[in-house]
Amino acid sequence: MPELPEVEVLVRHLRPQLRNKIIRAVQVKRPRVLRPTSPQRLQRALRGSKFIAVSRRGKYLLFQLQPPGKAAPRLLVGHLGMTGRMYLAPSQNPLPKHAAVVLSLGSDNFIFEDTRYFGRFTLDVRAIQKLGPEPLSEEFSAEDFAQALKRCEQSIKIKLLDQSLVAGIGNIYASEALFRAGIGPRTKARRLNFEQVQQLWGAIREVIAEAIRFGSTVPLSYAGTGWEDGLFYFGSVGDGRGFYQERLQVYDRANLPCVVCGNGIKRFVQAGRSTFYCPHCQRRKTAKTGLD
């Protein structure tokens, strides 16, 4: 369930629950998600350690751990992949079918479950060192963004998925940001003029900030049996009649009317992934008035 907003909401949810908790035991059910860390090394590093901070970088969760004694703090890095979830559940509960890693914290277990096992739970920090700026931070400026896009031959939609350009945008919010900026997803990144880059820069920040705000209002129970299981990003939240449809304006809306102009939303495939857009609102050289 993971793009930056979903991870941010999860981090805020977990932070107070994990703070000062001590890891008593480490169960690795799917060693693949640790790669390249070995189960033995993870167990040795984590057992007895205390959670002292929980944060986020891009789509990665960062758990700062204090080992027993005077050892230096350690960083545990998590990533939800496509289907990962992390939550606390009572220790007496049965483990879910796709539990990948389980940390015993006493009366609760901290569970990382992931149906497809694309996620990560590792001591390897190399991935986070390659990330671009946080989109909501001061580090992310329209000027730098424009500079970076200048030499890119790729279409802007594909470029937005490049985590070294700006961290945390995924397939959903890439389509959403381009729609809001009125820019066609096929446009070559280098062909955007500075005004368009500014529009896109603002749209990225708005779309992400709004999603975090939305997610923060959703009641969460990551223990996960009902519909309110934290998958607020799309589809799974609400009464089954499309609570989310008012939130996402183009993603997964192929053939449905554009919320702005009423024309049909189109779907096509770029780099093997679905892109959704409105051919009318996202034409070339669209000057958005903001009044529609």
To DNA, the closest distance from the beta carbon of 72 in angstroms equals 24
Check binding of 212 to DNA (CB under 7 A): no
Q: Is 243 in the site for DNA (CB under 7 A)?
A: no
Strand order in the sheet with 74-79: 50-57, 60-66, 74-79, 120-122
Which residue from 115, 198, 216, 245 is in contact with DNA, where contact means CB under 7 A? 115
Distance CA 246, CA 267 (A): 19
Nearest approach, Cβ of residue 89 and DNA (Å): 18
Q: What's the min distance (Å) between Cβ of 207 and DNA?
A: 13
Out of 17, 43, 274, 286, the residue judged to bind DNA by CB under 7 A: 274
Binding status of residue 271 toward DNA by CB under 7 A: yes
Residue 3 known to be catalytic: yes
C-alpha to C-alpha distance for 182 and 30, rounded to whole angstroms:
43
Question: How near is the Cβ of 187 to DNA at its closest, in Å?
Answer: 13
Is 59 catalytic? The answer is: yes
The β-bridge partners of 188 are 155
Using CB under 7 A as the binding rule, whether residue 209 contacts DNA is answered as: no
What's the CA gap between 278 and 244, in Å, rounded?
A: 18
- The residues, any chain, with a CB within 8 Å of residue 88's CB and separated by 6 or more, are 14, 17, 18, 105, 108, 109, 110, 111, 222, 223
Phi first, then psi: give them for residue 137, nearest 5 degrees.
-95, 170
In the DSSP assignment, the letter for residue 191 is G
Catalytic residue among 44, 273, 283, 285: 273
**Dihedral angle over CA of 97, 212, 193, 154, nearest 10:** -10
Instruction: State which residue, 1 or 146, has the beta carbon closest to DNA.
Output: 1
DSSP string covering 232-259: TTTTSSSSSS-GGGGT-SSTT-TTSBPT
Q: Would you say 261 or 271 has its CB closer to DNA?
A: 271
245 sits near DNA (criterion: CB under 7 A): no
Answer for which of 62, 75, 82, 259 binds DNA (CB under 7 A) is: 82
Find the binder of DNA among 1, 9, 100, 148 (CB under 7 A): 1
Q: Token digits for 191?
A: 């062909």
Binding stretches for DNA (CB under 7 A): 1-3, 6, 32, 58-59, 79, 81-83, 97-98, 115-118, 127, 152-154, 158, 161, 163, 170-172, 231, 233-236, 271-274
Give the catalytic positions in this structure: 2-3, 59, 273
